[in-house]
Amino acid sequence: MDHTLKWGIPSKRPYLKLFQLLVLAGLFYFCSGIIQVTKTVKEAAMLSCDYNISTEELKRVRIYWQKDNEMVLAVMSGKVTVWPRYENRTITDVTSNLCIVILALRLSDNGTYTCVIQKPEKGSYKLKHRTSVKLMVRADFPVPSITDLGNPSPNNRRIICSTSGGFPKPHLSWLENGEELNSTNTTLSQDPETELYTISSELDFNMTSNHSFVCLVKYGGLTVSQTFNWQKSKPAPSANQLLLWAIIIPVSACGISVIIAVTLTCLSCRHAARWRERRRNQESMEMGRISPST
């Protein structure tokens, strides 16, 4: 069913062959530079035809939007037709450069969209404007998670880094001090329905040294990363060391006890000697007071 402008609803009119003919004709006229629009899944994208016309002209011109080799939307005699794949989520606005807005973006919406304007001239429609917009739809990867997988061999540790639910195709690398390391068991898979990717990679390292690893995931000019720090364990004391400490501690305790006892004894002897000396002095003074005068 057709309708007046602003909102596009599905229609069963077959404009595909007509559009293919006019696109082929447009190739002989002019080709403008391609503008790029980048959005994420479920967002809305506005694609501009970069062309303005008056309301009066609208009923006389023909406007076609095509993605790669499939029709998206057409405006003829002021009526809008939206093709099934874009129905209920694509609108057009003649007040803003004849743009279209695609809602609830999907990964399958990636591609180059072309807008063609035709005007009547001498009994036929002639190409007056053609422009293309490249739409890039991406899905952001969450921050990777790093899990400890234990010890595959003595003195070695294994960790795994993984993330999922992103687009486009990612690349995962392990870094230490800015240098890329050799990883193992790197796997990449894509869901056939959602087209979203899952990636994971394992890394083995020596446990006897301190480490700071970075798991870096690159996709479509963007990156996400996670850091894993490892501190080497302090060596456990040997049996000889334990025996040595078992001897040193009691001997030291005994030695300290002897020193304390000797010190206390010396202090006690000095105190007693001072007391006896004071006592003798007092007795001498008393004897001097009670002796008869000569």
Residue 109 burial (10 A CB sphere; 0-12, 13-18, 19+): buried
CATH code for the structural domain at 34-138: 2.60.40.10
Beta strands 197-206 and 156-166, pairing class = antiparallel
Rounded CA separation 135/118 (Å): 23
Max distance between CA atoms of the chain, in angstroms, equals 168
Structural contact between residues 225 and 248, judged by C-beta atoms closer than 8 angstroms: no
According to the model, what pLDDT value does residue 20 have?
47
Does residue 131 contact residue 115 with C-beta atoms inside 8 Å? yes
* pLDDT for 148: 95
pLDDT, position 236: 59
Contact 85, 11 (CB under 8 A): no
pLDDT at residue 220, as a whole number: 85
Q: How far apart are CA 160 and CA 198, in angstroms?
A: 13
- Per the prediction, the chain carries an average pLDDT of 82
> Residue 25 has what pLDDT?
38
CA-to-CA dists, residue 93 to 52, 56, 118, 167, 212, angstroms: 11, 15, 17, 30, 53
Domain 145-230 has CATH 2.60.40.10: yes
Low-confidence ranges of the chain (pLDDT < 50): 1-32, 294
Q: Where in the chain is the domain with CATH 2.60.40.10?
A: 34-138, 145-230
